[in-house]
Amino acid sequence: MSQPLQLSAETAVKLSKELNVPLEHLMHMPKHILLQKIAELAAKAAAESESKPEVEGDGKP
């Protein structure tokens, strides 16, 4: 049987909110599933950052 994930409390709460998964489920989630979900979050964040135009400076000359 696998051990609960070794995450800090802050990390566990943040991941739980980001993944929309109850904290208890997150702590007992298989490691390969959690890594897959984190990779999906990272890909989504990268796609969102690419779609936003980069703003350089503050618009002042």
pLDDT digits (tens, 9 = 90+) for 38-60: 999 999 989 888 887 666 656 56
- Looking at per-residue pLDDT, the higher value among 37 and 7 belongs to 37
Place of tokens 């002042």: 60
Asked whether the predicted pLDDT for residue 2 surpasses 80, the reply is no
Q: What mean pLDDT is reported for the chain? A: 84
How far is it, in rounded angstroms, from Cα 4 to Cα 60?
Answer: 52
Asked whether the predicted pLDDT for residue 1 surpasses 60, the reply is no
pLDDT (average), residues 20-26: 93
